[in-house]
Chains A and B, each alone.
Chain A
Amino acid sequence: MVKRADAIVVGAGVVGAATAAALAESGRRVLVLEQGVPGGAVSGASLACIGTHMMDEEELPLLTWCCEAWAELDRRAPRFEYNRCGQLRFLRHENERRSAETWIGIERAAGLRPELLDPAEVQAIEPGLTGPIVAATWSPDSAVVNPFLAVRTLLDVARSGSADVVSGATVTALVTRGGRIAGVETSLGRFEASIVVIAGGPWTQRLAATADVELPIVPRKAQCLATVGTRPVIRTVVGACKAEGGVDAGYTQIQQAASGQVLFNTVLEGGVTATGSPEIVPEVDRAFVRDSVDTLLFLFPALAGLDLLRSWVRYEAVTPDDRFLTGPAGPEGLFVAAGDGGTGFVRSLGMARIIRDRIDGTTPPCRDDLYDVGRFAARAAA
């Protein structure tokens, strides 16, 4: 086994896999260390929507770049069920209309093409959506991918460069020498590299702390449900309209995977699920199951007799402003790319690009200061 590499990436979720691919493509010998199995934590649990719709105004250029990068990856390696199916965000009440229109205005100004549809127009796109909604926004360019296969594809890209992937290696501490990063200690021994990128999701903060780097990341419970596979019944990604005024009134995502399984989740009550420990993965809670099934059947009443098959819970990494922490941190040679906030899949390729550009000293395609690792400390000081 390679005990020395140019760069070590800690974590083989989608962010780690994308970072490994980006670094391997720029010619580095990369070693990816994964404590569990690749994509086995929150990446694999993700509904992996690739889109720009109702996300974050300031991040729109980066999100647009990311969507194109995913489409490009699909052209190069079409092995992860990339499907540009479009995205609907339904409005349950008239008072959501203003928020929908505001988002549409912002996105159209950025050159995107979302629109507001009435229920009949919605049904023309999504015939099974017969529930009593008042309208829905439509973002035709949103896509979905199979999260496991996307991680696998990115690792394949990395491995076809010069990366190695080691599963079952828990990184316990960062190793520094003379104020520079020198490698990591793991359950399989020490690995050396002058560059270490922590892409460990909710575990990132604890590992960074071993080099006295404090990161404001908290783990938050993410839950999901899946039915048995069935004939095509849902064509698009269906979500709830994002509420006005920055207060998140909840979260819904519903889609049908290539396997035929309907994947869905709804979180009510402010849209924030309980924090917890990523070490102990609990079962889904009762209220979550109720709200998710209730919302699915409100929209798609014909699915009432379909069998539920599986549920899962993972922990996502959340930062105070819901944006990634991506860039250099602490000792020279240490980088961080974490803080998915539950929508990390689309952003992963952009975060990988920022890390690569920071290491290579090249210019990123979009502004990277939004993700500056030290931004909260700087704000607190100001």
Chain B
Amino acid sequence: MNIPASLKYTSSHEWISCDGKTGKVGITDHAQKELGDIVFVELPEVGKTVSAGKACAVVESVKTASDIYTPVSGTITAVNDGLTSRPELINEDCYTKGWIFEVKLSDPSELNNLLDANGYREVVQ
């Protein structure tokens, strides 16, 4: 299973890649495999204020709709519009082309609450 060491994770299967100020968020390889063919993504609005652990996007497979929880609090600064026409990018490349939204962190210390790759591996094993 692909769990890049450079990322931080939530136990609800989101990843975040962060430089300390803004972070890109997506779902993990484990999550996309469990969901199967992804056919729809509901993106958050740019400029929206979000708080850690709250649902702010929806990823849908053929069978189910799954809420995506932001790992950190802040403001949405960008969304991956490519997912509107090609939601399957999440299946094909969940850690780069399949990112979902970008958030400007309001409290960078929240990053300390997240799992590292080893911690996340324990969650999914």
**Chain A complexes with chain B:** no
- Give B residues with C-beta under 8 Å from A: none
Interface residues of A (CB under 8 A from B): none
